[in-house]
């Protein structure tokens, strides 16, 4: 299979209050990025309309709703997400193995029921990066954040999930624990020239790809740029550089 071009590894976070605002950004970026992330803000405001429209116009969508509920409910929600034709959806790994398996069952139950060729892939959120060691202990998790992240990533893999969402500083440990075919989708990415905004654990596109990330989730450095397409192209060039070096090839072989 041919390697994925660098620009397809960029997932743009559409953190917007309305479908119209999301479409406006997406239209500027058509052909410059690989996917659009639709999250809780616009989904709560407008329901599935933005995801549905993007899919209908040929875009790929990551539905970032982080399902966490009893297996029966997550199975049904994942089925609905897959029926929308999204390429990626996510669930909390801390919902447990049965819940993750139910999400997969929901997705698989749509096979043959929808026209979209590529199956929806299911990712796990391990530990929210907003949680520090004290927060984790407070909710009853044992071990350092890295230990918990790796434990939950392994559980997600055992449940059959396709990969995880992971911060830049977790990529190496997850890649080591889960092998080369487990998808790692990484937010908190900032090009060298961009502001960090409120992100603390940041990496450049080049270093995140070198560490083993498959996709980068990037919001404000692209959506807030005066020329979003040019900002995306510059990031794709950084990714290209990382993909072309022997260091990243060695990492994945």
Q: Is 219 in the site for ligand C5P (CB under 6 A)?
A: yes
The C-alpha atoms of residue 103 and residue 112 are separated, in whole angstroms, by 17
| CB nearer ligand C5P, residue 110 or residue 238 | 238
Instruction: Using DSSP, state whether 244 is helix, strand or coil.
Output: helix
The C-alpha atoms of residue 90 and residue 121 are separated, in whole angstroms, by 9
Q: Is 129 in the site for ligand C5P (CB under 6 A)?
A: yes
| CB nearer ligand C5P, residue 79 or residue 190 | 190
Q: Is 241 in the site for ligand C5P (CB under 6 A)?
A: no
The C-alpha atoms of residue 64 and residue 43 are separated, in whole angstroms, by 9
Q: Is 228 in the site for ligand C5P (CB under 6 A)?
A: no
Active site (catalytic) residues: 66
Residues 6 or more apart in contact with residue 57 via CB below 8 angstroms: none
Q: Is 84 in the site for ligand C5P (CB under 6 A)?
A: no
| CB nearer ligand C5P, residue 101 or residue 233 | 233
Report in angstroms how near the CB of residue 219 gets to ligand C5P at its nearest. 2
Q: Is 153 in the site for ligand C5P (CB under 6 A)?
A: no
Report in angstroms how near the CB of residue 13 gets to ligand C5P at its nearest. 4
Site size for ligand C5P, by CB under 6 A? Answer: 14
What dihedral do alpha carbons 217, 178, 146, 243 form, nearest 10°? -40
User: Mind giving me the DSSP string for 167-230?
Assistant: -GGGHHHHHHHH-TTSEEEE--B--TTS--TT--S-B-HHHHHHHT-SEEEE-HHHHTSSSHHH
Report in angstroms how near the CB of residue 114 gets to ligand C5P at its nearest. 26
| CB nearer ligand C5P, residue 186 or residue 248 | 186
How far, rounded to the nearest angstrom, does the alpha carbon of residue 93 sit from its chain's CA centroid? 14
| CB nearer ligand C5P, residue 13 or residue 63 | 13
The C-alpha atoms of residue 229 and residue 28 are separated, in whole angstroms, by 6
Q: Is 88 in the site for ligand C5P (CB under 6 A)?
A: no
How far, rounded to the nearest angstrom, does the alpha carbon of residue 173 sit from its chain's CA centroid? 17
Q: Which residues bind ligand C5P (CB under 6 A)?
A: 13, 15, 39, 129, 165, 167, 187-188, 197, 199, 217-220
């Amino acid at each position: 299979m041919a390697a994925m071009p660098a620009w397809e590894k960029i997932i743009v976070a559409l953190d917007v209050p309305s479908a119209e605002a999301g479409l406006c950004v997406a239209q500027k970026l058509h052909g410059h990025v690989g996917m659009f992330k639709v999250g809780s803000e616009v989904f709560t405001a407008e329901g599935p309309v933005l995801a549905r429209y993007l899919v209908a116009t040929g875009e790929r969508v990551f539905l970032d709703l982080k399902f966490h509920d009893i297996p029966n409910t997550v199975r049904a929600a994942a089925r609905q997400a897959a029926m929308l034709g999204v390429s990626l959806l996510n669930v909390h790994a801390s919902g447990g193995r049965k819940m993750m398996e139910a999400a997969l069952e929901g997705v698989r139950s749509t096979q043959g029921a929808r026209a979209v060729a590529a199956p929806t892939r299911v990712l796990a959120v391990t530990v929210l990066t907003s949680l520090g060691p004290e927060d984790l202990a407070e909710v009853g998790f044992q071990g350092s954040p890295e230990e918990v992240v790796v434990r939950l990533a392994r559980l997600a893999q055992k449940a059959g999930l396709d990969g995880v969402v992971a911060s830049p500083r977790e990529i190496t440990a997850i890649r080591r624990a889960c092998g080369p075919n487990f998808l790692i989708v990484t937010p908190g990415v900032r090009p060298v020239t961009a502001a960090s905004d409120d992100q603390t654990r940041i990496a450049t596109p080049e270093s995140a790809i070198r560490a083993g990330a498959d996709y980068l989730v990037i919001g404000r450095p692209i959506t807030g740029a005066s020329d979003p397409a040019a900002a995306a192209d510059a990031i794709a060039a950084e990714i290209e550089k990382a993909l072309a070096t022997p260091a990243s090839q060695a990492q994945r072989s």
